[in-house]
Copies of this chain bind each other. A is one copy, B any other.
Amino acid sequence: MRIVRHLQLDEWLPVIRILGLLLCVVAVMMLVPLFILLKEDDGDARAFLISLGITLGSAVLMLAISRKVELELKPRAMFVLTTLSWVLVSAYSSLPLVFGAPHLEVTDAVFESVSAITTTGSTVMSNIEGLSDGLKLWRGLMQWIGGIGIIVMAIAILPFLKVGGMRLFQTESSDWSDKVLPRAGGVAKAIGLVYVGLTLLAILTYWLGGMDGLDAVVHGMTSLATGGFANYDSSMGVYSDRPHLLWMASFFMLLGALPFVLFIRAWQDRAGVLWCDAQVRGFLRLLGWVIAALTLYRVINGEALFTALTQVTFNVISVVTTTGYASDDYSAWGPFAVVAFFYLTFVGGCSGSTSGGMKIFRLQIGLIMLGNHLRSLIHANGVFSQRYNGRALPDEVVRAVIAFSFFFFITIGGLALALSFIGLDLITAVTGAATAVTNVGPGLGDIIGPAGNFSTLPDSAKWLLCIGMLMGRLEILTVLVLFSPSFWRK
């Protein structure tokens, strides 16, 4: 009762309004497959028409409730808005999967749309080749919307909420002290343009590389979003005989995992901004070493050099950027590769990109902390300066990064335990939890490995994995604070 009394409607009207606006975006996105399906005279058009109606209806209702409201958000409302926006967009996005030809059960449809919007890319659908063009496009579009959502959230919202050490990337554009929308406008627009531009570039490149039109569009969108949905059950395995396509995809996945603000700066200053950034350098170096080591391992085990290099590069980049395409069953590459890919699942790309996982900057800050600690054991009275990317590293950021890491692994551990209770074996439970929270996509083992599919899991496991994907996407703490009673007290 005491809690309810404090929940004044005024505080939440702006939240409802922004959610309503987001649903309008979803509705507009639904127009794209609808238009194509109508042109192709496909039965799925009806599914999109119904979904569009429901989404637009809800949006209008929410906007009507919150008419003439100032878009002023307090931190508390921001936490709630951020979490709800992912949940709601996922929920409404699942509608075409229920009403369309595959007629998925609600659990499967929600799993697929949460997996899409969070850009995880785990799928419960099979015979994807047989879907209508509209539904293929919709799967790609969902990931693409999710991708831009993440970047905007990472640049404009999370630093303000001090989640996971993201304050490190606080810029003017993330200073929300008064009003929300006007300030973020400039950067958001520029980022949006870069995102659209790079996606179009990827689509064009894939098309010139020999993909058919729809494949180029969907794969272009899911590459930049580091989403990982493909138009084929064997994912990118269909292109294994056309290695140039795998190299192209590697390149665009890599772009999707770089900090998007740096693209803008690189464009403005025409300088080596990207290579000067500590996070980007660490990311590329790590990829270089891992690809070299695993290629060597493959060659030692009898694979031809070019094939090994292509397959290792593609699949390593796919996992580290948290895209999750697979071009080969890397779980059959030998135990060293299996363990390596298990670890790589956690890494993630750069902050401010579409990728998930721990993120490179957190690993780097962790290493700085550990190095300093080791030095302090040896030189008892030494004082060690902490610097990162050419600037002093505040203790507050280090603490936030550490806390994030713990919460990250505790979430994965708890989720794995819950999955094992449902009956999933150790490897499926642990790698399933990990791949969900890191938003990578494939796990390990016979069931959910790179050659597998999530469809056979029990419904309860699918719902748990949905929670995991959403928590991972929201950098865990954004969700966790909502479950603290003191959060809801004035």
- Residues of A in contact with B (beta carbons under 8 Å apart): 75, 161-163, 297, 334-336, 338-340, 342-343, 366, 369-370, 373-380, 399-400, 402-403, 406-407, 410, 413, 416-417, 420-421, 423-427, 429-430, 444, 477, 480-481, 484, 486-487
Take A335-B425, A336-B420 as given contacts and tell me if A374 and B481 are in contact as well, using a CB distance cutoff of 8 Å.
yes
Nearest to A433 among chain B residues (CB) is B339
A162 touches B339 (CB 8 A): no
Alpha-carbon distance between A48 and B406 when the two chains are bound, in angstroms: 49
Take A75-B380, A379-B486, A486-B378 as given contacts and tell me if A403 and B340 are in contact as well, using a CB distance cutoff of 8 Å.
no
Our pick among B340, B406, B410, B429 for the contact of A339 (Cβ within 8 Å) is B429
Take A380-B75, A380-B162, A481-B378 as given contacts and tell me if A424 and B373 are in contact as well, using a CB distance cutoff of 8 Å.
no
Alpha-carbon distance between A374 and B377 when the two chains are bound, in angstroms: 29
B406 touches A370 (CB 8 A): yes
The A interface, classified by DSSP as helix, strand, loop or mixed, is helix
How many copies of the chain does the oligomer comprise? 2
Residues of the B chain whose Cβ atoms lie less than 8 Å from the Cβ of A425: 335, 338
A400 touches B378 (CB 8 A): no
Our pick among B336, B375, B406 for the contact of A366 (Cβ within 8 Å) is B406
A374 touches B484 (CB 8 A): yes
Residues of the B chain whose Cβ atoms lie less than 8 Å from the Cβ of A427: 426-427
Our pick among B163, B339, B426, B481 for the contact of A417 (Cβ within 8 Å) is B339
CB distance from A175 to the nearest CB of B (A): 14
Alpha-carbon distance between A487 and B375 when the two chains are bound, in angstroms: 9
Alpha-carbon distance between A374 and B336 when the two chains are bound, in angstroms: 37
A480 touches B339 (CB 8 A): no
Residues of the B chain whose Cβ atoms lie less than 8 Å from the Cβ of A334: 423
**18 A-B contact pairs sorted by A residue (CB < 8 Å):** A75-B380, A161-B377, A162-B380, A163-B377, A335-B425, A335-B429, A336-B421, A339-B420, A339-B429, A340-B417, A369-B403, A370-B403, A373-B400, A373-B403, A374-B403, A375-B484, A377-B477, A377-B481
Take A336-B420, A377-B477, A413-B343 as given contacts and tell me if A426 and B403 are in contact as well, using a CB distance cutoff of 8 Å.
no
Residues of the B chain whose Cβ atoms lie less than 8 Å from the Cβ of A413: 343
Of A376, A377, A399, A417, the most chain B CB neighbours within 10 A belong to A377
Residues of the B chain whose Cβ atoms lie less than 8 Å from the Cβ of A369: 402-403, 406
A417 touches B374 (CB 8 A): no
Of A162, A297, A339, A481, the most chain B CB neighbours within 10 A belong to A339
A444 touches B426 (CB 8 A): yes
Nearest to A76 among chain B residues (CB) is B378
Residues of the B chain whose Cβ atoms lie less than 8 Å from the Cβ of A380: 75, 162
Nearest to A487 among chain B residues (CB) is B378
A430 touches B375 (CB 8 A): no
Alpha-carbon distance between A297 and B366 when the two chains are bound, in angstroms: 38
Nearest to A431 among chain B residues (CB) is B426
Nearest to A413 among chain B residues (CB) is B343
Residues of the B chain whose Cβ atoms lie less than 8 Å from the Cβ of A423: 334-335
Nearest to A477 among chain B residues (CB) is B377
Residues of the B chain whose Cβ atoms lie less than 8 Å from the Cβ of A297: 421
CB distance from A179 to the nearest CB of B (A): 19
Residues of the B chain whose Cβ atoms lie less than 8 Å from the Cβ of A481: 374, 377-378
Alpha-carbon distance between A484 and B399 when the two chains are bound, in angstroms: 25
Nearest to A483 among chain B residues (CB) is B374
Alpha-carbon distance between A477 and B376 when the two chains are bound, in angstroms: 11
Alpha-carbon distance between A162 and B381 when the two chains are bound, in angstroms: 12
Nearest to A488 among chain B residues (CB) is B378
